[in-house]
């Protein structure tokens, strides 16, 4: 194995441990997201997709020479890796047809070792490629963009409108960061109100909604909504800007809350260079699989009021939302959000190293710290 591949193998071990720990955190009843059970489940689904992508890339390392990550910034793979993963998925069946079955390869490898008394590198690469392509055929990886799904449907008894919890995800190619979006949106379309709201202002039980539903539940707006989310999910856009654009572009849709979960940056000893202080301390951690730090940010913007629309003979105005931006908090104002939370997940051994070096307080200022220890997450340290 080349030094580059050896470093990549250590990186994969660290990121896999980090994502597994984050999944444990999402299931923990002490998690701040746990009280919003569906939110934690949605984020956990995308974490599982990320984990699957890394498993595929790890297999890919068995037959490819290099794997590039954003060492100085996000600590995640560069965007090109996601594009290649998507391209390989489309070509997987054709390529698999030209590679022997796994059983045949194992027999050939055993025969080669017996006859030549050396390791069959070429056959090993073929096996790695087969495993990679079989994995990548799955739709469960984290792609450049994941289309929206409607995860929940209910009715607002005050407005008598149905509302949906819709989520989607993107991997921002400029920031090299996975982003998960969730929006709660009311729908005043006459057809949807008629179908979904009963005379008592509750969800019509006679309508069967097999959740989750691919796309926005409103079929008349679903394609436009997909186009909108694909064009309005960049990391450079603030949550407030995205919410305002959604409110403006869809007359019958009324966004009440938009969340963005930024899964990163990720820090790994000897691999990433995105924080020199963190890198120096993590390098002293005895076990490489514990020498990492994963951060994430939860951003939220919500509507504080609704300005009624006006229809006139010569002009009209649509109903619009007034989103709350917390201007008392300079960072919230800068991010364009009502509120935000910074979180950090770190193995116990790495946290001890940072604490012993006197760096923990400075590094984790403004963060809610969660320590992974023996498969459990300890928060509020």
Q: What is the pLDDT of residue 68?
A: 86
Reading the block at residue 18, the tokens are 């980090």
Q: What is the pLDDT of residue 36?
A: 64
Radius of gyration, alpha carbons of the chain: 24
111-130: per-residue pLDDT in tens? Answer: 888 898 888 889 889 998 99
Enclosing H/E stretch for 223:
helix 222-231
Which residues, given as ranges, of the chain have pLDDT below 70? 1-5, 29-36, 139, 311-316, 380-381
Q: What is the pLDDT of residue 295?
A: 94
DSSP state string for 231-243: HS--TTS-HHHHH
- Residue (of 117, 81, 120, 116) closest to 100 by Cα position: 120
Q: What is the pLDDT of residue 4?
A: 58
Q: What is the pLDDT of residue 313?
A: 55
Q: What is the pLDDT of residue 174?
A: 94
- Residue (of 138, 13, 113, 127) closest to 63 by Cα position: 127
pTM for the predicted model, two decimal places? 0.93
Helices (H), 28-116: 37-60, 79-96, 102-116
The residues, any chain, with a CB within 8 Å of residue 282's CB and separated by 6 or more, are 267, 268, 269, 291, 292, 293, 350, 353
Give residue 201's region: left, alpha or beta (phi > 0; psi -120 to 50): left
Pairing of strands 145-156, 161-172: antiparallel
361-371: per-residue pLDDT in tens? Answer: 888 999 999 99
Enclosing H/E stretch for 373:
strand 368-373
């Amino acid at each position: 194995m080349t030094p580059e591949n050896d470093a990549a193998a250590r990186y994969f071990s660290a990121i896999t441990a980090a994502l597994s720990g984050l999944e444990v955190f999402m299931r923990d009843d002490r998690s701040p997201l746990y009280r919003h059970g569906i939110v934690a489940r949605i984020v956990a689904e995308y974490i599982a997709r990320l984990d699957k992508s890394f498993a595929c890339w790890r297999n890919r390392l068995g037959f490819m020479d290099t794997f590039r990550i954003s060492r100085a910034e996000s600590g995640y793979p560069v965007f090109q890796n996601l594009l290649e993963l998507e391209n390989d998925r489309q070509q997987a069946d054709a390529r698999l047809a030209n590679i022997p079955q796994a059983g045949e390869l194992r027999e050939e490898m055993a025969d080669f070792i017996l006859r030549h008394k050396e390791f069959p590198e070429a056959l090993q690469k073929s096996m790695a490629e087969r495993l990679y392509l079989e994995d990548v055929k799955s739709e469960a990886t984290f792609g450049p963009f994941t289309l929206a799904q409607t995860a929940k449907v209910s009715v607002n008894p005050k407005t008598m409108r149905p509302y949906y919890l819709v989520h989607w995800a993107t991997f921002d190619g400029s920031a090299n960061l996975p982003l998960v979006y969730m929006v709660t949106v009311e729908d005043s379309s006459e057809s949807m109100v008629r179908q979904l709201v009963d005379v008592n202002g509750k969800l019509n039980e006679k309508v069967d909604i097999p959740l989750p539903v691919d796309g926005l539940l409103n079929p008349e707006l679903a394609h436009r909504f997909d186009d909108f989310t694909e064009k309005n999910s960049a990391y450079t856009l603030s949550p407030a800007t995205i919410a305002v654009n959604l409110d403006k572009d869809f007359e019958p849709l009324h966004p009440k809350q938009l969340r963005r979960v930024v899964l990163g940056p990720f820090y790994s000893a000897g691999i990433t260079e995105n924080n020199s202080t963190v890198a120096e301390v993590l390098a002293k951690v005895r076990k490489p699989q514990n020498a990492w730090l994963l951060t994430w940010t939860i951003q939220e913007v919500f509507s504080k009021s609704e300005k009624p629309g006006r229809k006139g003979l010569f002009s009209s105005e649509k109903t619009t939302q007034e989103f709350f931006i917390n201007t008392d908090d300079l960072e919230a104002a800068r991010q364009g959000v009502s509120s935000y939370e910074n979180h950090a997940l770190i193995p116990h051994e790495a946290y001890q190293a940072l604490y012993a070096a006197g760096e923990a307080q400075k590094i984790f200022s403004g963060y809610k710290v969660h320590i992974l220890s023996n498969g459990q997450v300890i928060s509020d340290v």
